[in-house]
Structure 1
Amino acid sequence: MGSATGVAKANQPSGSGISAGDARAIAKEAYIYGFPMVMNYQTMYKQAIDKNSPDFRGDFNSLNSAKSVATPDDKFVVTPNSDTPYSYVWMDLRAEPVVITMPKIEPNRYYTAQLVDLYTYNFAYLGTRAFGNDGGKFIIAGPGWNGPTPAGVKSVIHTETQFAYGLFRTQLFNLADLASVNRIQAGYHAEPLSSYLREPAPPRAAPVNWPKPSDDMSASPTMFPLVNFLFQFCPPDPSEKDLLVRFGRLNIGPGRTFDFSSFSPEIQQAINDGIKDSDADVAVVMKKINTDAVSSGDMFGSRDFLKDNYLYRYVGAKLGLYGNSKQDALYFGYFLDARHQPLDASKSSYELRFAKDQLPPNKAFWSLTMYDGKSQLLVANPLKRYLLNSTNLSSYEYGKDGSLTLYVSRNKPATAKESNWLPAPDGPFYCILRVYLPGEAVLNGSWKKPQMQPVQGGA
């Protein structure tokens, strides 16, 4: 996979001196390391490069917005939320920085711009938590820029990679509120720094020959050439020096060329086995997630926060790419019921009961969203109801003791329960409980999510 950027290739070790055992171990490490980068690239390719893609959102440095929340037809990323209409900007920061404008909005609405680098680290945030709701102009700069801060700019934010993603979320209170959200989205803006300063633009960066992702790229050795390709836009971090030397034994790393066919059949098998070995690592983390020993707050964040925990970054990308850092949102997964059985609406119905005053503490809102267990996408249903959330608390039915019970099933429950019903598919599913701007009790773990209780005889 080549590019027109002229990056020199490093001396290539042949890989002939490596044992099958070492190759297997390195392949697993490199796969876990590179998977989030490849998933991120697939999104970038669909949204900013392939103009024939149904998910194309606009050219680099062009900010565009979805006019409504996500539906089952949205497939650009797994486990999307359906509470906040998205806005998007893929930034090419090689030639110059990009200036992002956040509009001033009302104080009781949550909005945010999550800034993600090519490794999928959340390197910064704009919006409610980070800067408040007064808006402002912000410079997003690549690793090589050290210019002065222009007048009128609230903050300069640096990223370590030459391309970055801005993913905006604007809280939608209800469908009648959509016009207000769209007006806010119209106030989001991105432009090159030279345009903001009304100065001549610097020379353009070299064109890139973007490799087209293949369907199997994220689950086979075909991903490693793409990881190598992406390294040219990711100046190596000093903390990864030894790791990249180790990866180099399989020709994986900056400036290297990975050619699977150049390895012996024994080493090829070892590489494939190493990739499959990652499944066991995921299973270990999933057990911790299902017992609440690990949360989304452990899997998403900055490089400094994750401290080289590539496994957690990998699992986070598999479960829901572009998860927020915990200060902005925490995600509680429901994959198993209270009896530790996989959730399956063809076999059972379920109830989720919040005792009085035990709804998730937050400074924004919470939501419980349904996902198909196979596709990891939203579930189509006649009500077009994909979630239940705190903005609709007044519409729910409550118990005499003040509790709130949510009903999860494939069949519509009795009329008295319908307002509290979250439709499920006729088969495996999972739910994500999102808590935006989580309260201290959620952040410190003293608040515990209720268990998903199977209903005897229900299906």
Structure 2
Amino acid sequence: MKRDDLEATHEAVLRTLPLFEMARMRAATAPRRHPQRGFAGPDAASTLRWLNTFTHSKRLLTPRDREVVTPNNDTLYTNAWLDLSEGPLVIEVPDMGERYWTLGFLDMWTNPFAYAGRRTTGNRAQRLFVHGPQWTGTVPEDMVEIAAPGGDVWIIGRILVDDDAADLARVAQLQQQFSILRAQDLQAAARVADTQMDGRKTETPEAHAYRAMVDAAWARNPAPQEDHDTPSLWHRALRVAEPRLQQALGEVCQALREDAQPSDIGGGWSVPMAIRTDWGRQFALRARVARNLIGALGIEEAMYPVAEVDHQGRPLDGAHRYTLCFPPGAGPQVDAFWSLTVYRKSDCLLVDNPIDRYSIGDRTQGLHWDADGGLRIAIQHAAPSEPRDRANWLPAPPEPFYLTLRLYQPRQAHLDFLYAYPPLVRHAD
């Protein structure tokens, strides 16, 4: 293959990868079983799934959960895949009291095009009217309009919860009051669809399956305007031999997962994305997020500073010990809450550890604060020797890892990139 053809194939994979990853996530997270109507398919190997219905996590995620990469350990997830091909849908949400919650609406190109929740639509009971690009009509006055750019939508919601039985039960009662109805008659909208793949497989996809899934998703979800030249690249990639496309897939996926993100805001930290509602022409970044951070929301809802290197630019590795110090009065500035989570680099998942702690944040019980109000977090594989450090220990794996600092409803200092993120310091061996 000529070099320019190989480069074009790599670029085509980079630009279309979000479509495949969203299809994979639908297959992985759309429910096999409906609580009233039973299984979508005849057996465990079936690729049939329920759409237009909510599923809710009942506990915080742990290393046993492998469907979602870079999952948070702060909120319960609310998940739904919408099919708008038969008309608009109405989503009913109960009164959420004072609790933080959000529903992020993502198109199949991973653009977080709309939100409902504490920040945007408030915490009152409400109805959301969701329609596709072909629909024409009048939105009912008592409903909030959500205009989708394509026929398929992923709703990924988060509801803040304390990790105790009482609060988990309170949130479970709220979850039961979420519903998705057909707009035409306000009846339950759940329907069965064939996802055509095993979403649990996270390795590099096979070229023939990749082609099929991208074409199927694209047919229902037009490319964003910024992708005006993506169709020609994709058609060019379709003309290459399958082994060459497979090579490009392997190389792109490996690079997206293994390349360390350099620090761009100092201290080892980077902000891998500053999206609000769409990616524009940030194709490489869009693909990287689709592969490693799929389901991420826009920065006004949540920011995700990431550290893959220390303050001297060296990749993070559990063979070393690290300290992160928030000076007095200089912690993250948020209107909701913040947390720091560690992930294994090889698969972007949470890490087993002897104290079952996967994150530290402003809601963590039992932290040791310095006399002046500062906070020192010990990030290492083995338990620290000092009691103070053990109280503030965030266990790391004995291998390469990365950190994500989640900022829910970040304040202006973060949004304007004026906040001074503390350096991630590696101890001398």
Q: TM-score range by the shorter chain?
A: 0.7 to 0.9
1:383-394 equivalent positions in 2, closer than 5 A: 383-392=355-364
CA deviation vs aligned residue, 1:186-245 (integer Å, no higher than 9, x gap): 22222221342x69x9xx99x865432584874553323321121111134454343313
Mapped partners of 2:249, 2:173: distance in 1 = 49
Could you tell me which amino acid in structure 2 is paired with residue 166 of structure 1? I
The CA distance in 1 between the partners of 2:175 and 2:256, in whole Å, is 40
Q: 1:167 aligns to what?
A: 156
Could you tell me how far apart the structure 1 residues matched to 2:202 and 2:403 are?
Answer: 26
Alpha-carbon distance, 1:288 to partner: 5.2
* Alignment partner of 1:398 is 2:369: yes
Query: What number of residue pairs does the alignment pair up?
Result: 415
Match for 1:363: what amino acid? D
CA apart distance, 1:284: 8.1
Deviation at 1:436, TM superposition (A): 0.4
Residue 229 of structure 2 is matched in structure 1 by 242
Given that residues 38 and 218 in structure 1 are in contact (C-alpha distance below 8 angstroms), is that contact kept between their aligned partners in structure 2?
no
Change (3 A) 1:47 1:195: farther
TM-score, reference length from structure 2 = 0.87
1:201-280 alignment runs, 5 A limit? 210-213=195-198, 215=201, 218=204, 221-222=207-208, 223-251=210-238, 260-261=241-242, 269=244, 272-273=247-248, 276=251
Q: Distance in 2 between matches of 1:174 and 1:340?
A: 35
Q: Give per-residue Cα distances to partners, 1:258-309, cap 9 Å, x unaligned.
A: 6845xxxxxx5487358636866888882255857952442x4433xx2222
For residue 98 of structure 1, what is the amino acid of its counterpart? L
**Given that residues 27 and 275 in structure 1 are in contact (C-alpha distance below 8 angstroms), is that contact kept between their aligned partners in structure 2?**
no
* 140-149 vs 162-171, greater mean Cα deviation: 140-149
* 2:335 alignment partner, one of 363, 368, 389: 363
Q: Which residue number corresponds to residue 315 of structure 1?
A: 288
Letter in structure 2 aligned against 1:186? Q
Q: How does 1:261-340 map to 2 (within 5 A)?
A: 261=242, 269=244, 272-273=247-248, 276=251, 286-287=261-262, 291=266, 295-298=271-274, 300-303=275-278, 306-340=279-313
C-alpha distance in 1 between matches for 2:301 and 2:45: 29
Q: 2:63 aligns with which of 72, 75, 88?
A: 72
Using the alignment, how far apart are the partners of 1:43 and 1:144 within structure 2? 25
Preserved contact between residue 331 and residue 435 of structure 1 (Cα < 8 Å): yes
Distance in 1 (CA, whole Å) between partners of 2:13 and 2:411 is 35
C-alpha deviation, 1:248, in angstroms: 2.1
Gaps of 5+ in 2: 33-40
Report matched runs for 1:416-431 at 5 Å. 416-431=388-403
User: Which has the larger helix fraction?
Assistant: 1
Rounded to whole Å, the distance in 2 between the matches of 1:58 and 1:122 is: 23
- How many Å separate the matches in 2 of 1:170 and 1:278? 31
Cα RMSD of the aligned pairs, angstroms, is: 3.1
1:127 aligns with 2:98: no
- For the 8 Å contact 1:23–1:271, the answer to whether it is kept is no
Question: Cα gap change, 1:157/1:53 in structure 2, threshold over 3 Å: closer, same or farther?
Answer: farther
Deviation digits for residues 124-159 of structure 1, max 9, x if unmatched? Answer: 000011111123100111121122223532x11111
Deviations 1:368-415 (A, max 9, x none): 0121222211111232211111113x6321222221101112222233
- Does the aligned pair in 2 maintain the 1:362–1:439 contact within 8 Å? yes
Cα distance in 1, alignment partners of residues 122 and 159 from structure 2: 13
Correspondences of 1:20-99 after superposition (within 5 Å): 20-48=2-30, 59-99=50-90
CA spacing shift, 1:29–1:213, aligned 2, 3 Å: farther
CA 1:189–1:336 in 2, change beyond 3 Å: closer, same or farther?
same
Contact 2:27–2:49 (CA<8 Å) still a contact in 1? no
Which whole-Å CA distance do the structure 1 matches of 2:131 and 2:257 have between them? 34
Residue 343 of structure 1 aligns with which residue? Answer: 316
Give the aligned residue type for 1:84: T
What is the one-letter code of the residue matched to 2:101? Y
Give the distance between the partners of 2:320 and 2:226, measured in 1 at CA. 48
1:439–1:128 Cα change, 3 Å: same
The 1:407/1:55 distance shift into structure 2, 3 A limit, reads farther
Q: Runs of 5+ in structure 1 lacking a partner?
A: 1-18, 252-257, 262-267
2:269–2:309 CA contact under 8 A, matched in 1 = no
> Structure 1 residues 91 and 220, CA, compared in 2 at 3 Å: closer, same or farther?
same
| TM-score with structure 1 setting the length | 0.81
Q: Residue 141 of structure 1: which of 131, 137, 144 is its match?
A: 131
